[in-house]
Amino acid sequence: MGPAEVKALQGDALARIDAAGDLAALDALRIEWIGRRGGRITALMKAIPSVAPEERSAFGQAVNALKAAVQDRLDARKAALEQSEAKLPGVDVTMPGRRLELGRLHPITRATREMVDIFGRLGFEVVEGPEVEDEWHNFVGLNIPAEHPARDPLDNYYLKDHVLLRTQTSTVQIRVMEKRKPPVRVIAPGRVYRPDTVDAGHSNMFHQLEGLWVEEGVTFADLKSVLAMFARAFYGPSVRTRFQPGYFPFTEPSAEMYLSCLLCGGSGCAACKRTGWIEILGCGMVDPNVFEAVGYDPEKVTGFAFGMGIDRQAMLKYGIHDIRWLFENDLRLLRQL
């Protein structure tokens, strides 16, 4: 056998190695070609010394080259087969991955966070209170006596005698003042519950944000400036505010704050019932009876409080026309924002 035949053998060997379908078939080829006993290339190597001296060098080089090429190809094919046999059956690792959808904040969460941020800059700390309340914190401490219409069992979710789901976050005013000495400057966001008939503007569960600032020398001017600053920060610098006298048992004097209508700018439209103004919150100077209920001295400290519906603010700000949409878990609502 001359160098040319050895070369031809190489083509055959490499083609069969490439075609080996699994590791067992490949091992059989290894034995056939370079097996220590009886391998075809091994036999050629053993034959080198018996080749005629003038041909020996060329023959030897050809056989060595053949062996190296076969060994290389066996190694490469082995690595490839090992990798594909290690794969889990039925898994195509070249398939594109599953896309993770990025979530969004619910409008109420967004509005709440923005309010917390704005009042935070004005020095208000966030506090929380329980949703299951007693009559002391929901009514009595807030100067709402037993005969007051707000205490009608039909207007409240009573869980058992004297225990109900809170109807307002004003409960947290009492809880905070019972625990702390003045000065107090807090906001309390949270859920409240009322057995109202559900419609576009009413839900029997909704959210309020309560505010309370008590300290020596706090005045109605502080109340107006804090709430006007809030309105401009939350709704934009061009919004105007108006205060109108109102009544709440726990504040004296009491007021309602109105915004110039966000839709028509004040000229009058359907959204503001042609008045140009939209009411957004109740507020007032903390009633001395409330201070006495929590052990504060009304001769020493004064304070103001306010409460607003977070859901209503979110609806106004984001243009949501029906409060029920906020609680239906329809993802289309979230995707719009």
Sheet holding 125-126, edge to edge: 125-126, 184-193, 205-215, 302-309, 277-286, 251-260, 241-248
Q: How many residues bind ligand DAH (CB under 6 A)?
A: 11
* Interface pick for ligand DAH out of 62, 172, 210, 227 (rule CB under 6 A): 210
Residue 118 vs 172, nearer CB to ligand DAH:
172
Told to check if 127 binds ligand DAH by CB under 6 A, we report no
Residue 283 vs 316, nearer CB to ligand DAH:
283
C-beta pairs of 103-109 under 8 Å, 24+ apart in sequence:
104/334, 104/335, 104/337, 105/337, 106/326, 106/334, 107/314, 107/315, 107/318, 107/320, 107/326, 107/333, 107/334, 107/337, 108/207, 108/310, 108/311, 108/314, 108/326
Closest distance of CB 263 from ligand DAH, Å: 24
* Interface pick for ligand DAH out of 235, 258, 277, 306 (rule CB under 6 A): 306
Closest distance of CB 170 from ligand DAH, Å: 4
Closest distance of CB 106 from ligand DAH, Å: 22
Site string for ligand DAH, 217-256 (x = CB under 6 A): -------------------------------x--x-----
* Interface pick for ligand DAH out of 39, 107, 129, 282 (rule CB under 6 A): 282
Residue 26 vs 168, nearer CB to ligand DAH:
168
Cβ burial 40-53 (10 Å sphere, 16+ → b, else e): ebbebeeeeeebee
Told to check if 171 binds ligand DAH by CB under 6 A, we report no
| Chain contacts with ligand DAH (rule: CB under 6 A) | 168, 170, 210, 248, 251, 282-284, 305-307
